[in-house]
Amino acid sequence: MEKIFFCVIIIFISHLSEAQVKQRSVKTEFYTGVGYKFVYLTDPLARNAYPFFQFSKGDFLKEINGVFGVTIDQKYGIELSPAYLFTNSLSSDGFNFTDNSGTRFYVPVQTRLFAVPVNLRFKYYPFSKGYSATLSKMYFGVGGGAMYIEEEITSQIYTDNTRLNFITSRNAKESMWTSNYEILVGIGNFSKIGYGFELSYRIVPLKQLQTKALITEIASNFSSVNFAANIIFSF
């Protein structure tokens, strides 16, 4: 995935350099914004522990993101996008975890999860000129960067998933740094105060250390499909 990401960046920069050579006067426009993102985890174990929507509590796995960027000739975009993903929701289904005592069934009773991805993103507006006003606002892009994740779970431990034989309660907490990559498509505008909607797929690999009874230690990834609504201020 890293090779693909860097290849796309090289292609993007080469197109940008070619556009600047062909056109001496290039219009640039800076923008900033804030957005609200709904997050759907694609790994079954992670999604079961942190559901997209929990009906009993009416709680979402959610993310607040910011953007600081520049558009070049309304055709290319480069932006820095930090975000804050968080939830206190939990599933009562439980999960199996194996340690030195053997395999036990863990039922979370309290959780705390947050993550801070900080990505550099590259956008391409293929229909910015010579197309309808709606299509001109559409873009495709890629992004990538670092991601900090912190998770804490207090679980009740049983011998198996029948939950007939309670053993004890235990708290586990861990934090980590990992990489993440994005593929995205969206629509926005170039107004002074505008809007944007974006659909993205974020790839978040996990090391599966399996040293603690935490989802981020036993799930294969923390990847997700995301839908974002943004407010954008251009200047």
Residue 13 has pLDDT above 70, yes or no: no
Q: Name the more confident of 198 and 4.
A: 198
In this structure, are residues 226 and 203 in contact, taking their beta carbons and an 8 Å threshold?
A: no
pLDDT value for 182: 97
Asked whether residue 129 carries a pLDDT value surpassing 90, the answer given is: no
* CA–CA dist 173, 214 (Å, integer): 7
| pLDDT score recorded for residue 167 | 96
For residue 41, give its domain range.
2-234
Is the pLDDT confidence value at 104 over 50?
yes
Burial call 186-202: b when 16+ CB within 10 Å, e when fewer: bbbeeeeebebebebeb
The amino acid present at 167, given as its one-letter code, is I
What distance separates the 2 farthest-apart alpha carbons in the chain?
75
Choice among 13-27, 65-79, 152-166, 220-234 with the minimum mean pLDDT: 13-27
Q: Where are the beta strands (DSSP E) in the chain?
A: 28-41, 53-54, 59-60, 62-72, 76-87, 95-99, 102-124, 138-158, 166-188, 193-203, 224-234
Digit-coded pLDDT (tens) for 90-99:
777 899 999 9
Residue 15's pLDDT band (cuts 50, 70, 90): low
| 20, pLDDT greater than 60 | no
Taking residue 46's Cβ as centre, other Cβ atoms within 10 Å add up to 23
Residue 75: exposed, middle, or buried by beta-carbon count in 10 A (0-12, 13-18, 19+)?
A: buried
Domain tally for the chain? 1
Residue type, 94: G
CATH code of the domain containing 217: 2.40.160.20
Instruction: Please report which confidence band the pLDDT of residue 32 belongs to, taking 50, 70 and 90 as the band edges.
Output: very high
**Residues 61, 52: contact at Cβ < 8 Å?**
yes
**Which residue's structure tokens are 């029948």?**
162
Confidence of residue 4 (pLDDT cuts 50, 70, 90): low
- Tens of pLDDT along 211-223? 999 999 999 999 9
More confidently predicted of 228 and 90: 228
pTM (2 decimals)? 0.85
Q: What residues have CB less than 8 Å from 23, skipping those under 6 apart?
A: 73
**Could you tell me the pLDDT band of residue 7, with boundaries at 50, 70 and 90?**
low
